[in-house]
Amino acid sequence: MVVPEIPVTRSIVAAALTGPTAATMLAVLVSVATPAGLALLLPAVAGLGPWIWGLLNRSWRFTATSDNHLLGITFGFSERRRQTVPLDRIHAAQISQPLLWRMLDWWKVDVDIAGYGEPGKGGATTAVLPVGPLDQALALAAHLGPVDRGEVDALMRPDGVPDGAGSTGGVRVYRSPASARWVSPLDRTRQGVILVGGDGDASTDRALVCHRGRWRRSVSVIDPVHVQELSHRRGPLRRMLGLSTVRFDLVPGPVRMVGRDLPAEEAVELLTRLRQRALPTGRSR
């Protein structure tokens, strides 16, 4: 059992502490306080109600088991659903925390699954931990991803790139420099990219980790072999500041990965190294 059954009370509280739920409650308060309140309430309920219900339904008595390279997921309130995912089809994992969950230190883990497309397609879920404590989220990321638990604890804490992490041994670290404060004043110290696994040949790199976000913290991990495309972006302002952004395109899903506002020369180095990564048979660089 990689995720024991999530308590019902946790699912209810987690659904209540989300932005859409807060917006719906605000609409209810406004509807009571103003003459035109009903006109504001109906669109809010019609638009956000199904989303909130879906969020609650996908975490209701959620469990996950792992056996024979398969991840088995069970969840649902109105209808119990069972979903089986081959572990080798899980390309990327992301640990994130909505702002209002911070007071309870709850986190969620989403994954990109090859062939699934966007979240919610066909009633399937891409959340392998809808809500849980950080230790549980980190343990699940280690189970599903290309890094072991020790590396997860050292490099994937969601509060930003570890201060002690440097480009030594099998780890290469790319951080936003001080000049990035002009374009990323809040996120600069939280965002960065870590490559794990190779000193020399880029084909030995086995994990790409991206940190980002101060208000909505997240950390994502993927085996570089699963990165679909790479792009290098540098607008006029960032060019003046000596900054560049490297974007990593993945299979369709909830995980987003980007190396934002890196020193221009380090962004080129990262891009060049990843272009030399090992690729699945049948794909060219």
Q: Quickly state the pLDDT bin for 25 (edges 50, 70, 90).
A: low
Q: Reduced to 3 states, what is the DSSP secondary structure of residue 77?
A: coil
154 and 260 share a domain? yes
108 and 160 share a domain? no
Using a 10 angstrom Cβ sphere, with 0-12 exposed, 13-18 middle and 19 or more buried, the burial of residue 163 is exposed
Q: Is residue 266 part of a domain?
A: yes
* Chosen domain end from 113, 135, 154: 113
pLDDT tens digits along 139-177? 999 999 899 999 999 899 888 887 766 666 688 899 999
pLDDT tens digits along 128-141? 999 999 999 999 99
Helices 37-59 and 19-33 cross at an angle (nearest 10°) of: 150
* pLDDT score of 251 more than 50: yes
- Name the percent of the chain lying above pLDDT 90: 56
28 and 104 share a domain? yes
User: DSSP alpha helices (H): ranges in 60-165?
Assistant: 134-144, 149-155
Q: What is the pLDDT of residue 284?
A: 46
Which comes out higher in pLDDT, residue 3 or 37? 3
189 and 238 share a domain? yes
Q: Is residue 230 part of a domain?
A: yes
Q: Is residue 120 part of a domain?
A: no
Measuring CA to CA, how many Å separate 206 from each of 30, 157, 190? 52, 18, 23
Sequence-separated (6 or more) residues with CB below 8 Å from residue 46: none
Count the domains in the chain: 2
User: Where in the sequence is the domain holding 91, given as residue range(s)?
Assistant: 8-113
Measuring CA to CA, how many Å separate 23 from each of 28, 108, 186, 213? 9, 21, 24, 22
What is the Cα gyration radius of the chain?
20
Q: Which CATH number goes with the domain that contains 194?
A: 2.30.29
Q: Is residue 282 part of a domain?
A: no
Q: Is residue 1 part of a domain?
A: no
DSSP β-bridge partners for residue 285: none
Q: What is the DSSP string of 163-230?
A: TT--S-TTEEEEE--GGGGGT-TTTTTT-EEEEES-SS-GGG--EEEEEE-SSSEEEEEE-GGG--EE
Average pLDDT over residues 112-119: 79
